[in-house]
Amino acid sequence: MFENQFTIEGMTCQSCVEKVTEKIRSLPHVTKVVVSLENKQIRTESNINVNLDQIKDALINFPKYSVFETASKVSNPQQSIFKTYKPLIVVFSFILLISLSFQISQSVFDYHQFMNHVMAGFFLGFSLFKFLDLKAFSESFSSYDPLAQRNSNYGFIYPFIEFTLGIMYLNQYALFTANMITIIILTITTGGVIKRLQSKSTFQCACLGTAFSLPLSYVTVTENIVMILMAFYGLLNLT
């Protein structure tokens, strides 16, 4: 569950409060809206993170209202790291075990092939969860990815890019291209994640789509950096 707070200017009466509440409540995944005329504040609770652009879009027909971001947080912050990131840990464990089991069945352990299979599992597995709700993923992804913020279509295309990369790594096809694309897209995303973390606001990580509520954190950064380093390792082994 995500709690978000926004500052709103331009409300003058209770009728304004009712209009704003109705419009924001209509947003997907929003479960609760509290609008305060006195404090000039909007507070939302939602299943996925609600960003400033979504609030502004909901109020687009009311230009007299100006909305500003104040704070965003994930509820239940006292959860253990394992419990918080359990879905991510389980998915990564399956990918590693499957990749290792394939190498064990071979006469010689091929580290390069092992890396490619891990990369394939990462992209195929993670894209699967994103496909479950493309629209929700795109909205969550746009809260921190620079390209998705500039062009909303990128959020819809991204899972297809991941799926294609997964197939390329699995079949060890056009690995130079696959590694270059991996480095570029994950570097851009990592930059966006670090920028959000520095803002001291917490957003939902969209790495597993919106099927699981994972907070954006330096775990996301570490995950991406590991994948980037593996892609660089793959490039070096092609030369």
* Final residue before a domain boundary, out of 74, 104, 122: 74
Burial class (CB in 10 A: 0-12, 13-18, 19+), 186: middle
Q: What confidence score (pLDDT) does residue 28 get?
A: 81
- In this structure, the answer to whether residues 68 and 85 fall within a common structural domain is no
User: Residue 157, CB half-sphere, CA atoms under 13 Å: how many?
Assistant: 7
Q: Give Cβ neighbours of residue 204 (< 8 Å, ≥ 6 apart).
A: 2, 48, 49, 74, 140, 143, 210, 213, 214, 215, 216
- In this structure, the answer to whether residues 223 and 145 fall within a common structural domain is yes
- In this structure, the answer to whether residues 136 and 215 fall within a common structural domain is yes
Burial class (CB in 10 A: 0-12, 13-18, 19+), 47: middle
- In this structure, the answer to whether residues 86 and 194 fall within a common structural domain is yes
Which residues constitute the domain of residue 168? 81-236
- In this structure, the answer to whether residues 39 and 110 fall within a common structural domain is no
- In this structure, the answer to whether residues 61 and 112 fall within a common structural domain is no
- In this structure, the answer to whether residues 66 and 38 fall within a common structural domain is yes
Q: What confidence score (pLDDT) does residue 201 get?
A: 59
- In this structure, the answer to whether residues 69 and 134 fall within a common structural domain is no
Q: What confidence score (pLDDT) does residue 239 get?
A: 63
* Final residue before a domain boundary, out of 74, 106, 122: 74
Q: What confidence score (pLDDT) does residue 114 get?
A: 93
Q: What confidence score (pLDDT) does residue 138 get?
A: 87
> pLDDT in tens for each of the 239 residues of the chain?
678 888 998 988 888 888 899 899 888 888 888 888 888 889 888 877 788 888 988 899 888 888 887 744 544 445 567 777 888 889 999 999 999 999 998 889 998 899 999 999 999 999 999 999 888 888 888 888 999 989 989 999 999 999 999 999 999 999 999 999 999 999 999 999 898 888 765 567 888 887 777 777 888 899 999 999 999 999 998 86
- In this structure, the answer to whether residues 63 and 116 fall within a common structural domain is no
What is the total count of domains within the chain? 2
- In this structure, the answer to whether residues 45 and 91 fall within a common structural domain is no
* Final residue before a domain boundary, out of 74, 102, 133: 74
Q: What confidence score (pLDDT) does residue 72 get?
A: 47
- The model's pLDDT over 109-147, given as tens digits with 9 standing for 90+, comes to 998 899 999 999 999 999 999 999 888 888 888 888 999
Q: What confidence score (pLDDT) does residue 1 get?
A: 66
Q: What confidence score (pLDDT) does residue 234 get?
A: 92
- In this structure, the answer to whether residues 189 and 90 fall within a common structural domain is yes
- In this structure, the answer to whether residues 225 and 175 fall within a common structural domain is yes
Q: Give Cβ neighbours of residue 112 (< 8 Å, ≥ 6 apart).
A: 234, 237
CATH code: domain of residue 43: 3.30.70.100
Dihedral, 166, 167, 173, 178 alpha carbons, nearest 10? -30
